[in-house]
Structure 1
């Protein structure tokens, strides 16, 4: 029997190695848990930032006057944005729920710089780049009904529908724990789209800003003529800032007073918009189609001389290019019997005399800018031609004698016609069957409606 034996060294080593392995396994497990917990904490923090950015974006929407929510979001930009929406937003843009909404007066491509742009706004926080996306559509909901707001086409036949803007704000940011390493937070709101709906504003003490000046849907002006338009607004807070989109070349706006002035230099159609903004970014605007016209010019295709016939209805249409409507036409020195329609530039009537007239046609536009041209009208004098004829006795024949010029209608007479022939006094047609051989000197006379007379003669023979 042994006493005070030393521990088995081999057994002790095994126990130590097992203990170390257990510690390593536990430590690895705790490390994975710590990493996962850390990532979840980061994700939660990133999402909190996204939620705040979405709230900020929605406040940006509510701060605008309802009438200005679509301002600058042109049709093409909105169409491009909706063609490839974020996955999380796509179902909300379904055509059964939401109608496409855009600013009909905005120039193509303006959406990127709108107050609520069609392209995302970027902000970098804590090393991450967040993007704010604004989608704006339209929908309707029955009055006093809490049902889902749907597209107008889906509500066909329903009455008492209230229109809304469906505003969708999406914030995206990179995140490894999100599908495709791409995280999205979406917020939406319905805002009544009637202009009389209340305006949301982050500053409750500010009055509602309203641009009080009204403009016609279409405004006409001429190049080279100075213009000056004054605009006024009510409500809002603090100093107002005035701006304008798509002013004609040569025209500008005073940012302090809102006066639009200058001399247009280029003809064209400009979808002009004047915008007023207060210190709280409230906006209102007035929009119109500003058509700058070239000075009026009478078309050169109408400068040729015109031949008219006395007693025969006549019409000639004059045309002009340029000039602000409505154009007014006048004419001096027209032939007797002809008049000009002031609204259409059409000269019409029945000439009652013969001769040559030098007439001046003038067109005047809305701003009293005028253009004139001289035209010549000629109505020939009465003329008659009677040719020699040879007929065969016993054979029916017809000869038409036609006068020209003068003032119609004509009256014809003939003397010394071959035996068997007669003349129609209204038409000048000689007809019949010659019944006697010989030679006749035929005398034909024509008289026009105003008493003009001419006589011609010719030798007509009849052979046996």
Structure 2
């Protein structure tokens, strides 16, 4: 026979059963807690793994950026696409796009919509890993910071007045990777990284705090520079900062021009007219670079258009306008004229001869155009204004039938004043227009005398026979 153990001897069997049930419940509670802990731990571990993938994708995206030449960072990111991207940014990057710290940047030459296919697109790149869709987002802005400091990079407006040599311009490149996750706000997780890239260099410069100081090409150029073919040109460029000997180079110089790699002096005689997107680059021993760029327009020498005829007819007292044209020549063109008829003048800026001639005769006039480099071209024209003339023809009119006869003088100085004597009864003359009109009231033959006087006082008269039948 089995005896109770000392621990249970003398105890109520019912109480022992209760203890057993309580123990089982405790085990179940503990087991449930461990299960929840295990599930939570698994989720956290899974989330951590997703984040590690996102970090790697962000690093890969930034490597994509660093592999580009600086000039290509914005290529294809058109204004419209970038504006749309910045107008609704991810919450995780919105603070980095604040107008106080970052200016919007885009490729002004790119067509609308090109941003989606740019090397650094304005739309996210998608990759599927471990069953999750990851999206790489590229945001690119610009900022500046004071030279030779480690100050924060801020929007250009925040550094207003500092001047080009006092600040270093950068591209602020922001890469954000997003992926779905139930434990993240709104079900979307994100990882963000950023980098500053010197925007004035040919190759990316990521460390600008070198003891050498910032290399700065201090010579400024107008956005458009004009020169003429066959005229010698010398341009000198200067730079500050950097370390060691500077090396100068040039892109797209006009034919006939060269640059000294040691002094930066550009010399030569342009030989071919055209437009050249020229860039002068200076590089120090640390491969820091700065440049100045402009549109160099080389013009042919000015030539007045041969489409103008050599003899130009004018009328005394009648307003006259003639525009002369030129091909070639650098701005600003200046026109001049000698020997113009009295009453005419030439506009120096437009090449327009205008006015009201006050004389009659013939004038040999020389028209000259001078360009911005004092290169000239001249052509001679003959202006002619005829003297006063009058022709009156014999007329055959019908008794009782309305008639109208126009007497037209020519040449001289307008306006004219007409008079008529011995007109058939019923007819009168308009002294301003020279029109004789009315209804002949008597048959017969009349020797009509017509006289005209021009504005200069010249007088002519003619006689003709007018018959009424």
- Tell me if both proteins adopt one fold, taking TM over 0.5 as the criterion: yes
State the SS of the aligned residue for 1:361.
strand
In the alignment, what sits opposite 1:323?
329
Q: 1:308 aligns with which of 279, 293, 314?
A: 314
Residue 138 (str. 1) matches residue 141 (str. 2): yes
Give the alignment of 1:283-362 within 5 angstroms. 283-362=289-368
CA contact (8 A) 1:423 1:431 kept: yes
State the SS of the aligned residue for 1:284.
strand
Q: Which has the higher contact order (CA 8 A, sep 6+)?
A: 1
Q: Deviations over 1:194-225 (max 9, x none)?
A: 99xxx853662111111111111111100111
Gaps in structure 1 of 5+ consecutive residues: 1-43, 62-68, 84-92, 106-116, 119-134, 142-148, 150-158, 171-185
Q: TM-score, normalised by structure 1?
A: 0.64
Give the alignment of 1:25-424 within 5 angstroms. 70=70, 72-73=71-72, 78=76, 96-97=88-89, 101-102=106-107, 137-138=140-141, 165-167=171-173, 188-190=194-196, 201=207, 204-424=210-430
Gaps in structure 2 of 5+ consecutive residues: 1-51, 90-96, 98-103, 111-118, 121-137, 145-152, 161-168, 177-191
In the alignment, what sits opposite 1:114?
none
CA contact (8 A) 1:140 1:161 kept: no
**Pair 161,288 (structure 1): closer, same or farther in 2 beyond 3 Å:** closer
Aligned counterparts of 1:388 and 1:53: Cα–Cα separation in 2:
99
Aligned counterparts of 2:246 and 2:77: Cα–Cα separation in 1:
33
Aligned counterparts of 1:74 and 1:103: Cα–Cα separation in 2:
13
CA contact (8 A) 2:208 2:214 kept: no
Question: What is the Cα deviation at residue 306 of structure 1?
Answer: 1.4
> For the aligned residues, what is the CA RMSD?
4.3
**Pair 292,139 (structure 1): closer, same or farther in 2 beyond 3 Å:** closer
CA contact (8 A) 2:314 2:385 kept: yes
Aligned counterparts of 2:280 and 2:62: Cα–Cα separation in 1:
29
Question: What is the Cα deviation at residue 187 of structure 1?
Answer: 6.6
Aligned counterparts of 1:54 and 1:218: Cα–Cα separation in 2:
36
Aligned counterparts of 1:161 and 1:417: Cα–Cα separation in 2:
90
CA contact (8 A) 1:165 1:192 kept: yes
In the alignment, what sits opposite 1:123?
none
How many residue pairs match? The answer is: 344
**Pair 332,231 (structure 1): closer, same or farther in 2 beyond 3 Å:** same
Aligned counterparts of 2:216 and 2:326: Cα–Cα separation in 1:
41
Question: What is the Cα deviation at residue 167 of structure 1?
Answer: 3.1
